[in-house]
Amino acid sequence: MACLIFREFHRVSTTIRSEDPLSSSTPVPVGADSFRSAGWTPRLVLSLISLLCLVESAAFANIATTTAVPRIIGHFNTTQGGWLVTVTTLAGAASSPLFGKLADLYGKRRMILVVLVLACLGEIVAATAPVFGVMIVGHVLLGALTALLFLCYSLIRDVYPKRLVPFAASVSVTGMGLLLVGAPFLIGVLIDHFGFRSVYVFNFAWLVVMGVVMVLTTPETGVRRPARLDVLGALMLAGGVTLILLPVSKATQWGWGSVRVVGLLIGGVVVLAVYALVALRTQEPVLDLRALFRRTVLFGVLGGGMGNSLSLVMTILLAMLAMTPRQLGGTYGLGYTATEYAFVTATFALASVVGGLLVGLVARRTGARRLMYLGLGLLAGGSLVLMSAHDTLGKILTGCVIVGLGSGLAMGAMPIMVIGGTQESEQGAMSSAGGLSAGLIGAAMSTLVFAIMTPTVKSPAPGVLVYGDSGISNALLAVAGVALLSLLIGAILLRPRDGGAEEKQAMALAEETALPA
């Protein structure tokens, strides 16, 4: 069955080379008209299931990584476990806008297949990695999964019957929340009984099966739009951030004043500065700085990116707090198995889903900005709660609920604020900017957290690495500080000049165009 996907991928690559990408008269694929005009059929149901499952494979990969980090760093005897998250989020942030542009040129289904091939290669590499460096390469390839969220939704919008699009899109969003609650239990069973490599094998099989079902049931979109690829911009943005994060993660080993650390930091700043100059002169940059630097948009993207990325970082810290044996952690550690830890992750995810739902229920009365303030405040407060008390399950779950609610509120408020600060023609680009922000901030925070914890690491036995309580507490303090700083930036420096009238109009626009739940 897997041959179907790779055969289709070969056909896709041949088509991309031979097509005129800017043609606006691309014929509608065979079968698309009948598919779009039909009601609910077994084919359409299978199509929706396959696309939903592909979207959720990205969430599964993230949860699996954060849950498996303690096992992975012990197996490879490394203190650089944060790079598993860093490279995945960086690769996803840099590649997603490019996949979006390619989808406009060559078709959404084709790009989904390209993403699946890259991700399958990443799963194989990670599952068989003999050394930690090879594992990192696998996670770079897994970053492509980030693009599935908007590619699958866009394909639904283009080829599904119009009257069924709202329901299908709603299911694709709510289904993601349900997976975040249920996936940790499956991941826990896999890790406890078959080892951390089993989660990569499982996701590989998941991608292959659902990819085959999608190929057999879902037609290609006939929609084509002219677009320009800013490959250089994506590489410069990801490269500049990497040049900064690498010396931060290695500073304990190399020394903060070493030539390598200082040189890489300066190099990263220079690359990002050059990117800014180039982006301001590029017609369709990977990140539109002119639109981004509007107050409402910048705070929306910053706050939403914080909500997304800090929740990812928090799950790594929670895994260490819950899965480290007390006799090794000393003053912390519940000694949970991966299966038992699933109850902690599920609580966190459920609180995040509730936070997102609250935005939809009260945003019209309160405004998205106030909900963003509340979300960032809860992120900071929950981190401080965990910092001061994390030696029992009750205390950890209390922090989980507070941080999860904050994350959901911040992520839910972001699109409303983005709509409020952009014109309709800019909203697609700025939506991808939100994902880019989450990826870059997530990469930076995961690197920072491990850089803070690394000086406290100890190895009580071969193949066992344990971070000191002070290191974890300081990392939680850093998370709280970053969230609080973001709140203050929004409240003081990025306050709207019109008293929030533009954001209120955005809320009304969002309601008019919202898909029914």
Taking CA atoms, 375 is separated from 45, 302, 315, 475, in Å, by 36, 12, 17, 19
The architecture that CATH gives domain 288-517 is: Up-down Bundle (1.20)
> Is there a contact between 151 and 104 (Cβ–Cβ < 8 Å)?
no
Give the C-alpha separation, 320 to 259, whole Å. 33
Sign of the torsion angle spanned by Cα atoms 386, 402, 305, 140: positive
Question: Residue 465: phi, psi to the nearest 5?
Answer: -120, 130
DSSP conformation class of 489? I
Burial of 43 (0-12, 13-18, 19+ CB in 10 A): middle
Give the C-alpha separation, 236 to 274, whole Å. 8
pLDDT at 430: 57
pLDDT at 25: 39
Give the C-alpha separation, 51 to 159, whole Å. 12
The architecture that CATH gives domain 1-16+31-227 is: Up-down Bundle (1.20)
Please indicate whether the domains covering 1-16+31-227 and 288-517 agree at the CATH topology level: yes
Which amino acid would we find at residue 167?
F
Give the C-alpha separation, 26 to 20, whole Å. 9
Give the C-alpha separation, 487 to 378, whole Å. 10
Give the C-alpha separation, 213 to 103, whole Å. 20
Taking CA atoms, 266 is separated from 94, 126, 248, 263, in Å, by 21, 32, 12, 5
The DSSP bridge partners found for residue 458 are 466
Spans of all domains in the chain: 1-16+31-227, 231-281, 288-517
Give the C-alpha separation, 79 to 13, whole Å. 39
> Is there a contact between 381 and 402 (Cβ–Cβ < 8 Å)?
yes
DSSP string, 59-83: HHHHHHHHHHHHHHHHHHT-S-THH
Give the C-alpha separation, 61 to 119, whole Å. 10
DSSP conformation class of 202? H
Alpha-helix residue ranges (DSSP H) falling in 160-196? 165-194
The DSSP bridge partners found for residue 461 are 464
Q: Is the pTM of this model over 0.85?
A: no
Give the C-alpha separation, 467 to 476, whole Å. 13
pLDDT at 26: 43
Tokens in use for 63? 């949860």
Print pLDDT tens along the chain (517 aa): 444 444 444 444 444 444 434 333 344 454 555 666 666 788 888 888 888 888 888 888 888 888 898 889 888 988 888 788 888 888 887 787 788 778 888 888 999 999 999 999 999 999 999 999 999 999 999 989 988 877 887 788 777 887 776 666 555 554 555 566 678 888 999 999 999 999 999 999 999 999 999 999 888 888 777 767 778 888 888 888 888 878 877 777 788 788 888 899 899 899 989 988 888 888 778 777 776 777 788 888 888 888 888 888 888 899 889 998 888 878 888 999 989 998 998 899 889 888 888 887 888 788 888 999 999 999 999 999 999 989 899 999 999 999 999 998 998 888 778 766 666 555 555 556 666 777 778 778 888 888 899 889 888 777 678 889 999 999 999 999 999 999 999 999 888 766 555 555 555 554 444 433 3
DSSP conformation class of 196? T
Which amino acid would we find at residue 414?
M
Q: Which of 88, 26, 9 is nearest to 225 (CA)?
A: 26
SS3 content of the chain, % helix, strand, coil (to 5): 80, 0, 20
Give the C-alpha separation, 70 to 338, whole Å. 10
Euclidean distance between the first and the last CA atom of the chain, given in angstroms as a whole number: 35
pLDDT at 488: 94
